[in-house]
Amino acid sequence: MWRGMMIGFLMLLGMTQAVASFDEAVAAVNDGKFAEAFEVFSTLAEQDDARAQQALAWMYYDGQGRKRDYEKAAYWYRKAADQGNITAQINLAQMYAYGQGIAQDFAEAAHWWQKLAEQGDSRSQAALAGLYFQGAGVAQNMLTAISLWREAAEQGNIEAQRNLGLMYGKGQGVEQDDVQAYAWLNAAAMQGDKTAEQSRDYAFQQLTATQLKEAELLAGQYMEKYVAAVEEENKKPH
């Protein structure tokens, strides 16, 4: 799922109405003055500032200005997550899923990913779908997995597009459909997913001449709606 994809600290730069000391700490990080930033974030975190708690957790997780400490990272991510900090919620869910600095708990990971999935976060939707597919932390439910992967795939999530294509190819949770399999796998493959590329080529070999025309048409539509359009939307300022 998301191994190695912890959300970076630079997301904080886009936040508005930051208190002066928080801004100064961000500037210190950008200047490589991690020890200085750590002190400011620590003070603000103890004052229950969710942004500072998330930033402090990142510093512990990444070993910036302090020895890497996953337990303390999880502690501060939890503090910020409980206050609704989305970045902290994403990272906390991942730490629960992989047992980093905290006991592995798929039910807790599902809890946080569910919150984020309901807000439309495609990465959380894809990750939660994986738990439903495996029955890890939640009751196994192929229909729910398919639904979540579809929501994420339509937002351009590569992992979801690949998995949705594989489900269609195997007929798991959906009626087997090589045309749909080819179209979804192609969308992921065209974004650089090697596994999807290999599976797409296999799906291609299963198509009849009639199906091939339909598959190529559908693949073009998916590229336009779920790759190109999403990429264009992501370029817009938010």
pLDDT in tens, 90-127: 999 999 999 999 999 999 999 999 999 999 999 999 99
CA distance linking residue 184 with residue 44, whole number of Å: 46
pLDDT in the model for residue 17: 39
Number of H helices, E strands in the chain: 13, 0
218 token code pair: 């559908």
- Residue 182 CB coordination number (10 Å): 30
Q: Which CATH class is domain 1-99?
A: mainly alpha
Is the confidence at residue 16, as pLDDT, over 90?
no
Is the confidence at residue 4, as pLDDT, over 90?
no
Judged by DSSP in three states, 237 sits in coil
- DSSP label at 156? T
CA distance linking residue 122 with residue 90, whole number of Å: 11
Residue type at position 25: A
pLDDT in the model for residue 6: 52
Nearest alpha carbon to residue 70 among 102, 38, 94: 102
pLDDT in the model for residue 14: 39
Higher pLDDT, 224 or 238: 224
Region 163-172: what's the mean pLDDT?
97
pLDDT in the model for residue 233: 76
- DSSP label at 224? I
E strands, the chain, are none
81 token code pair: 């997550």
Judged by DSSP in three states, 190 sits in coil
Is the confidence at residue 201, as pLDDT, over 70?
yes
pLDDT in tens, 20-76: 589 899 999 999 999 999 999 999 999 999 999 999 999 999 998 788 999 999 999
Q: What is the mean pLDDT of the chain?
A: 91
pLDDT in the model for residue 9: 45
pLDDT in the model for residue 236: 74
Residue type at position 183: A
Residue 219's φ and ψ, nearest 5 degrees, are -60, -40
Is the confidence at residue 10, as pLDDT, over 60?
no
